[in-house]
């Protein structure tokens, strides 16, 4: 096995994603072949409705694939039990919490669930990991607050801390900056970049903030109408991939600045 293959933590082989119905399969994207390296910040981008959330849900085994393979650490995702997967991959989704009456500490502590006994008792090691997660996301001062008392930005950081407490090699976030202003969107992405560098974890997130992702990500997955491309941002720019995302009659991508501009 080559050194590169040893560094690949997640890959897909001829993956097709979509929805199964009684009459037919509704294809969203097909022939997806991506390789994600360990310890990288990876942004998944594309036009609204292109299928980003469908791809993420398929990669985390929330939604079944139509065909093809997903491999985590070279093991077929379909052959991985839920309990085993919970120690490899943690998830931060955009759905509203069912209960915001938990304290910040209690919510972050839920990240230790895959490792606790059937009663859910926390060991000293669990407590140390929870406290470290709070510190890394810089929310130790919030640990006694109830989640309903938090702003959207604060709650987002709590959810990231919970994923950190789960202590998995991969963290997946579906649009982690929803409802945040530009400053806090940039703050969350910078936080994810910092956590990737400090922990060596692989962090994959979907985003509509393409320009921020270009600036901060090690790797990007770009979904277009015809293809799913995975590469470094600089290579994607030179290959003209971002120019294909939107109709050129309204928005154009400027390769020299790495940004989108409204057509005159």
For the chain, which residues make up each domain, given as ranges? 99-161
10-residue averages of pLDDT along the chain (264 residues): 72 96 89 97 94 95 96 95 94 72 94 82 94 97 94 91 97 82 90 96 94 96 94 95 87 87 82
pTM, rounded to two decimals: 0.92
User: What is residue 256's three-state secondary structure?
Assistant: coil
Q: Could you tell me if 86 and 114 are in contact, meaning their C-beta atoms sit under 8 angstroms apart?
A: yes
CA angle 51/159/17 to nearest 5° reads 20
- Predicted pLDDT of residue 5: 67
Per the CB < 8 A criterion, the answer to whether 230 and 220 are in contact is: yes
162 to each of 168, 175, 210, how far by Cα in Å? Answer: 11, 16, 26
Q: What is the structure's pLDDT at 116? A: 86
CB atoms within 10 A of CB 121: 8
Q: Cα separation of 190 and 195, whole Å? A: 9
DSSP bridge pairs for 103: 146
């Amino acid at each position: 096995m080559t050194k590169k293959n040893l560094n690949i933590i997640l890959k897909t082989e001829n993956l097709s994603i979509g929805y199964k119905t009684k009459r037919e399969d509704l294809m969203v994207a097909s022939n997806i072949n991506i390789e994600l390296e360990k310890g990288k910040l990876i942004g998944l981008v594309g036009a609204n409705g292109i299928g980003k959330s469908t791809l993420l849900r398929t990669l985390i085994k929330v939604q079944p694939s139509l065909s093809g393979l997903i491999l985590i650490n070279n093991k077929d995702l379909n052959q991985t039990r839920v309990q085993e997967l919970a120690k490899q991959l943690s998830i931060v989704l955009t759905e509203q919490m069912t209960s915001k009456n938990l304290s910040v500490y209690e919510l972050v502590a839920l990240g230790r669930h895959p490792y606790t006994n059937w009663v859910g008792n926390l060991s000293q090691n669990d407590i140390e990991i929870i406290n470290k997660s709070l510190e890394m996301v810089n929310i130790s001062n919030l640990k006694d607050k109830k989640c309903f008392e938090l702003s959207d930005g604060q709650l987002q950081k709590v959810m990231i801390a919970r994923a950190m407490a789960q202590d998995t090699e991969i963290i997946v976030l579906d649009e982690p900056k929803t409802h945040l202003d530009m400053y806090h969107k940039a703050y969350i992405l910078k936080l994810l970049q910092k956590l990737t560098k400090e922990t060596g974890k692989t962090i994959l997130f979907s985003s509509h903030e393409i320009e921020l992702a270009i600036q901060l990500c090690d790797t990007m997955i770009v979904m277009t109408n015809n293809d799913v491309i995975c590469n470094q941002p600089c290579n994607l720019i030179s290959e003209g991939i971002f120019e294909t995302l939107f109709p050129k009659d309204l928005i154009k991508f400027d390769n020299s600045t790495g940004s989108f501009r409204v057509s005159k």
